[in-house]
Structure 1
Amino acid sequence: MFSMKNWQQGKAWTNWSNNVVSYPNTFYAPTCIEEVQQIVQQANEQQTIRVTGAAHSFSPVAMPESAALTLHHLRGLISIDKQQHSATFYAGTYLHEIGPILAEYDLALTNMGDIQTQTLAGVIATGTHGTGITLGSFSSMVTKWGFVNGLGDYIEHERKDDELSDALHVSVGLLGILVTVTIKVIPLYSLHYTSTRSYFSEELSRFQQTIREHRHVEWFYFPGSDLIQVKKMDIVAPQEQNKWQQKVDELKLQLLENGAFYVASEVCKWQPRASLAVSKLSSKLVSEGERIGLSYMIYPSPRSVKFNEIEYAIPLVNFEACMEEVHHTLKRQQFNVHFPIECRTTTGEKGFLSPTQGQESAFIAFHMYKGMDETAYFEWVRTMMGKYGGRPHWGKINDYHASNIRSYYPQFEQFAKVRQKQDPHNIFLTSYFRHIFQ
């Protein structure tokens, strides 16, 4: 999690997996919107500002160059509108803080992923998502954005059918610094969670049916194994999880999914050819069971084993063919990889830079343990995903560049025009983004 102890001049900035490192010469930690405005207004054209969030992106999307800015002091609830089922937060609020706050008003987030360390600003800017074919990303929850643009103006914009809304939907921080956000919320609910071990071929044959029978479905495919883990979650009436059971579940997660898996990962780093055997063993040790608890307690899972990640959204209709190719390739151990592949779904979303481009989509995330060479594996993923209409997640390792961005996003020029209007002096355009826009 983010710590202010490391937020000072002379310190290196690094993301969670340490695959992106920079040395900004200025660190900002504003305490109010007016201070954010002043920081932007005082910036010159030789200085770029980057909001770093919780540093959980694997791409350089949050990497600061000359100036790094944290919204750590701009957190918390601003207001609740129970009639409209909406809540307004400061955008620096961490996801793990939101559930308990909303629960006090008998409200909850519509959806979450399994990581809860990020900020609202970060997950909205990058289109971060959970799973559920009827559900969208965090960006889809937004009904109003409050941001400081590149001129230092504070703008509040309600979502409507216009270009600014389509650009703000997934803006990757290029239109300004998101400081407040109003999101749609729903009545407080619990989730009935089940985890089962199943055969890949059987689950693949009924995948389209399964994702419509349950609110949330998530796969963990173990490279080269015929077994997968299938997680399903459905809404039930609000009820607290049994405290004893909660502690047991947490202990199992720490011992098996983090402790034992860390040891196995170290073995693979030392002896890469052991990866297939470790993956098959891991698939047989999948923790099966069920539990019920308030949604914000059930969604997240602790992730202490570090990795690098590349993730693509593909049209849902291409999922089976894509996974057949993945399975066929990895059974031959063409790559030394043991980290499970995560498969999730979302509804289509309108937004100039949304990876779903309005289509029901499957998100497939490929991981490589930190310290193991992912180069050949990730290059294979990139090539393969081109066949299935894949678009990279902005917060994951990607190959976005001026030479290919328009093929991924047909409305890229419209986004570029909105960006230029909101940030004419390129205050937020770091070198990573200059390679895309110039």
Structure 2
Amino acid sequence: MFSINNWQQGKRWTNWANNIVSYPSTYHAPASIEAIQQIIKNMKKQQTLRVTGAAHSFSPVAMPEETALTLHNLRGLLSVDTKNLTATFYAGTYLYEIGPLLAEHQLALINMGDIQAQTLAGVIATGTHGTGVTLGSFSSMVTKWGFINGLGEYIEHERGTDDLSEALHVSIGLLGILVTVTIQVTPLYSLHYVSEKTNLEDALKNFQQTIRTHRHVEWFYFPGSDLIQVKKMDKVAPVEQNKWQRHLNEMNLQLVENGLFYVISELCKWQPRASSSVSKLSSKLVSEGVRTDLSYRMFPSPRSVKFTETEYAIPLQHFEACMEEIHAVLKKGKFTVHFPIECRTTKGEQGMLSPTQGEESAFLAFHMYKGMNETPYFDWVRVLMRKYNGRPHWGKVNDYDATNIRDYYPKFAAFNELRNEHDPNNIFVTSYFRRIFN
């Protein structure tokens, strides 16, 4: 998690996975909207600024070059509208802070992913998501954005059917710095969770029915194995798990899903040929069980074993064929990979840069343990995902550049026009983005 103690001039900046490193000359930690406005107005020509969030992106989307800014001092719940079920937050609020804050008002997030270290600004800007074919990303929850553009102007914009709403939906920090955000929330609820092992062939036959029977469905496919882990969660009335049982569950996650997995990951790093055997063994050791607790305690899982990740959204109707092809290749042991492929679903979203492009989508996340060579594996994934009309998640390793961006996003030119309008001096355009917005 982010530490303000490491936010010092002259410090090296790196993301969580340590695959992105930079050496910004200036660090800012403003405590007011006015302070951010002044920082932008004081930017020198050709200098760039990036808000780094919790540094949980695997792409350079948040990488600062000259100037780094954190919203760490702009956090918290600003207001709640219980009638319209909305809540307004400072955008620097970390996800792990939101659940308890909303619970005090008997409210909760509609959905979230399994990592809670990120900031609201980060997950909204990149289209970060959880799972559930009737549910959208964090971006879809926004009803109003409050942002400071590249001219230092503070703008509040309510979601509508206009182009600016479509651009702000997934803005990757290029229209301005998101400082306040109003999101749709829901009455407090709990989730009933079931984890089970099942045969891949049977799960594929039942996939479409399963994702429409349960609110949340998540797969973990272990490369080369015929066994997968299926996690299902459904909404129930608010009930809290016994504290002792919750503690035991947390210990199990830390010892098995992190401690033991770290040991076998180190083995694979030093003996890559063992990866296939380790993957198949891991599928047999899947933790099965049932539990129920408040939603904000059920969504996240601890992630202390570091990895690099690439993730793609494909149209939902292609999922079964895509998984069959993935399994056919990986069971041959062509790649030295033991990390499971995480499979989730979302509804389609009308954002100019949303990877779903309005279609119900399956998201497939491919991981490689830190220190192992991901290039051959990720290169194969990239080619395969093109076959199934896949678009990369902005916060994960991706191949976006000026030669392909318009193929991925038909409304890219319209987004770029709005970007030029709100950031005419290219304050937010680092080297990574210059490669795309050439």
2:405 aligns with 405
Deviation, structure 1 residue 55? 0.1
1:113 aligns with 113
The unaligned stretches of length 5 or more in structure 1 are none
Q: Matched residues in 2 for 1:368 and 1:5: separation?
A: 29
Q: Matched residues in 2 for 1:98 and 1:200: separation?
A: 36
| 1:15-94 alignment, distance < 5 Å | 15-94=15-94
What amino acid sits opposite 1:370 in the alignment? K
Q: Does 1:96 align with 2:93?
A: no
CA contact (8 A) 1:219 1:343 kept: yes
1:333 aligns with 333
CA contact (8 A) 1:135 1:346 kept: yes
1:159 aligns with 159
CA contact (8 A) 1:315 1:362 kept: yes
Deviation, structure 1 residue 254? 0.5
Secondary structure at the counterpart of residue 182 of structure 2 = strand
Which digits, 9 at most, give the CA deviation of each residue in 1:328-386, with x for residues without a partner? 00000010000000000000000000000000000000000000000000000000000
1:179 aligns with 179
Secondary structure at the counterpart of residue 122 of structure 1 = helix
1:351 aligns with 351
Which digits, 9 at most, give the CA deviation of each residue in 1:393-435, with x for residues without a partner? 0000000000000000000000000000000000000010000
Matched positions, count: 438
| 1:159-238 alignment, distance < 5 Å | 159-238=159-238
What amino acid sits opposite 2:365 in the alignment? A
What amino acid sits opposite 2:191 in the alignment? L
What amino acid sits opposite 1:241 in the alignment? Q
2:416 aligns with 416
The unaligned stretches of length 5 or more in structure 2 are none
Q: Matched residues in 1 for 2:323 and 2:141: separation?
A: 29
1:313 aligns with 313
1:133 aligns with 133
Q: Matched residues in 2 for 1:181 and 1:49: separation?
A: 21
1:396 aligns with 396
2:124 aligns with 124
Q: Matched residues in 2 for 1:299 and 1:290: separation?
A: 14
Secondary structure at the counterpart of residue 146 of structure 2 = strand
CA contact (8 A) 1:48 1:426 kept: yes
Q: Matched residues in 2 for 1:433 and 1:45: separation?
A: 17
What amino acid sits opposite 2:84 in the alignment? Q
Deviation, structure 1 residue 271? 0.3
Q: Matched residues in 2 for 1:297 and 1:72: separation?
A: 23
What amino acid sits opposite 1:326 in the alignment? I
CA contact (8 A) 1:45 1:426 kept: no
Q: CA RMSD in A?
A: 0.4
Deviation, structure 1 residue 241? 1.0
CA contact (8 A) 1:214 1:234 kept: yes
What amino acid sits opposite 1:259 in the alignment? G
Q: Matched residues in 1 for 2:45 and 2:144: separation?
A: 29
Q: Matched residues in 2 for 1:184 and 1:25: separation?
A: 38
Q: Does 1:293 align with 2:293?
A: yes
Deviation, structure 1 residue 5? 1.2
1:144 aligns with 144
Q: Matched residues in 1 for 2:313 and 2:274: separation?
A: 30
Deviation, structure 1 residue 244? 1.1
What amino acid sits opposite 1:153 in the alignment? E
Bigger Cα displacement from structure 2, 44-53 vs 386-395:
44-53
1:264 aligns with 264
Query: How does the TM-score come out when normalised to structure 1?
Result: 1.00
Secondary structure at the counterpart of residue 185 of structure 1 = strand
Q: Matched residues in 1 for 2:92 and 2:279: separation?
A: 37
Q: Matched residues in 2 for 1:383 and 1:338: separation?
A: 20
Moved over 2 A (4+): none
Secondary structure at the counterpart of residue 219 of structure 2 = strand
Secondary structure at the counterpart of residue 367 of structure 2 = strand
Deviation, structure 1 residue 267? 0.3
Q: Matched residues in 2 for 1:112 and 1:125: separation?
A: 15
Deviation, structure 1 residue 109? 0.2
What amino acid sits opposite 1:329 in the alignment? V
Deviation, structure 1 residue 22? 0.1
CA contact (8 A) 1:106 1:187 kept: yes
Q: Matched residues in 1 for 2:251 and 2:395: separation?
A: 30
Q: Matched residues in 2 for 1:240 and 1:414: separation?
A: 47
Deviation, structure 1 residue 6? 1.0
Which digits, 9 at most, give the CA deviation of each residue in 1:191-236, with x for residues without a partner? 0000000000000111000000000000000000000000000000
What amino acid sits opposite 1:150 in the alignment? G
Secondary structure at the counterpart of residue 35 of structure 2 = helix
Q: Matched residues in 1 for 2:391 and 2:25: separation?
A: 34
Q: Matched residues in 1 for 2:396 and 2:197: separation?
A: 28
Q: Matched residues in 2 for 1:160 and 1:46: separation?
A: 34
Secondary structure at the counterpart of residue 71 of structure 2 = coil
Secondary structure at the counterpart of residue 313 of structure 2 = strand
